[in-house]
């Protein structure tokens, strides 16, 4: 469910960016194959089945970078490679080479061109092009600006460690912190709970936080559900909250009308072992509104544009991504951040 305008990166952040980048932004910077057809006659027609394409012959060979294409002093090739490693390191089949770091007409803005390929050789070599801003901490690709540098997730990780205060399951330690931003009335958030439940089992040393990010424009009862959830946590703790959350998502269709929402939320509160009247009274207090506003501000400060979004130690990915991919990224992040695994 898109909360605001869908940016080129959206909630997938760097993951979506790098998937999209393989559609090639600057193909002309990768030398094309020689044209061997110009002077050759057309082959005679053949009978029988068409010949099969030859099998990939192995990893492609990148073109030799031209030193004349490195006119900017920053960022360095090492910083660009570290940035790509931070984002692509989980994909052991991907390979890349920095082809150019060029000055532009704007002082301090550098244009970076990277050749990208896969080790299997099944896909053609392509090129990624982006612009690094003078602060060295941000880059522009398409119509979006994202964090850049050797440690591109560090700032978001720090913000989440300091400000993500939703109910959690798993470890009290924040060394491995998975923060899910979700809306109780969002169908895709409901779908994401299967992934979140599996992660709680497979990564018992992780702190898995639920952070409210309701969108009342699309989902009129989402705020009410979030406020009830805050009170369930306040009165019954995190364990009661996740019982409540599971019941709300299971009965999500009941949130379609105000009367249905009241029945659905009260039923979920009862399943969590709490008194609906007490929770309803709590939800109407200024303190609960302030708590929800703080969660909304955190999502806004992190530029979360859609839910469900999952942050893995500050690294933003879609919470509905294929589970095997989520595990691969988490396992890579565990090694990159030097934290203990499951």
pLDDT of 54 reads 54
Question: Strand 207-212 vs strand 177-182: parallel, antiparallel, or unpaired?
Answer: parallel
pLDDT of 28 reads 30
Report DSSP letters for 172-233, one per residue: S--SSEEEEEE-TT-HHHHHHHHHHHHHHHH-TTSEEEEEE---TTT-TTHHHHHHHHHHHH
Cis geometry, peptide bond prior to residue 122 (ω within 30 degrees of 0): no
Correct CATH for 155-337 of 3.40.50.620, 3.40.30.10, 2.40.30.10, 3.30.559.30: 3.40.30.10
Handedness of CA 49, 50, 51, 57 (dihedral sign): negative
Q: Please say whether the beta carbons of 306 and 68 come within 8 A.
A: no
Query: Which of 235, 217, 236, 210 has its CA nearest to residue 295?
Result: 210
pLDDT of 325 reads 97
Domain regions of the chain by residue span: 10-27+59-151, 155-337
Chunk the chain into consecutive blocks of 10 residues (it has 342) and report each block's average pLDDT, rounded to whole numbers: 33 38 31 33 51 64 95 97 96 95 97 94 91 96 91 97 98 97 98 98 97 96 98 98 98 96 98 98 98 98 96 97 97 93 72
**Whole-prediction pTM value?**
0.83
Q: 316 has which bridge partners? A: 311
Residues of the chain by 3-state class (helix, strand, coil), percent to 5: 40, 20, 40
Cis geometry, peptide bond prior to residue 75 (ω within 30 degrees of 0): yes
pLDDT of 210 reads 98
């Amino acid at each position: 469910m898109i909360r605001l305008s869908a940016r080129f990166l959206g909630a997938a952040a760097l993951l979506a960016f790098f998937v999209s980048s393989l559609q090639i932004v600057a193909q002309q910077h990768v030398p094309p194959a020689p044209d061997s057809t110009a002077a050759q006659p057309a082959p005679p027609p053949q009978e029988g089945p068409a010949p099969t394409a030859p099998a990939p012959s192995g990893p492609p060979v990148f073109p030799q970078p031209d030193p004349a294409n490195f006119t900017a002093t920053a960022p360095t090739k090492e910083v660009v490679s570290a940035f790509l490693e931070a984002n692509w390191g989980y994909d052991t089949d991907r390979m890349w080479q920095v082809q150019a770091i060029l000055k532009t007409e704007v002082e301090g803005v550098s244009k970076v061109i990277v050749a990208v390929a896969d080790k299997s050789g099944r896909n053609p070599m392509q090129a990624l092009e982006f612009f690094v801003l003078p602060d060295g901490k941000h880059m522009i690709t398409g119509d979006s600006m994202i964090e850049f540098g050797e440690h591109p997730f560090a700032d978001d990780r720090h913000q989440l460690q300091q400000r993500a205060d939703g109910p959690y399951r798993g470890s009290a330690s924040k060394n491995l912190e998975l923060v899910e931003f979700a809306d109780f009335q969002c169908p895709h958030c409901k779908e994401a709970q299967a992934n979140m439940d599996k992660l709680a089992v497979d990564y018992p040393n992780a702190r898995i936080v639920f952070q409210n990010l309701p969108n009342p424009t699309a989902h009129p009862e989402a705020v009410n559900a979030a406020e009830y959830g805050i009170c369930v946590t306040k009165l019954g703790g995190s364990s009661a909250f996740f019982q409540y959350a599971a019941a709300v998502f299971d009965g999500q269709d009941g949130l379609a009308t105000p009367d249905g929402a009241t029945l659905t939320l009260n039923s979920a509160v009862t399943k969590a072992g709490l008194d609906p009247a007490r929770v309803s009274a709590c939800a109407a207090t200024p303190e609960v509104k302030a708590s929800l506003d703080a969660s909304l501000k955190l999502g806004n400060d992190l530029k979360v544009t859609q839910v469900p979004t999952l942050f893995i130690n500050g690294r933003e990915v879609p919470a509905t991504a294929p589970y095997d991919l989520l595990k691969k990224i988490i396992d890579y992040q565990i090694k990159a951040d030097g934290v203990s695994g499951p």
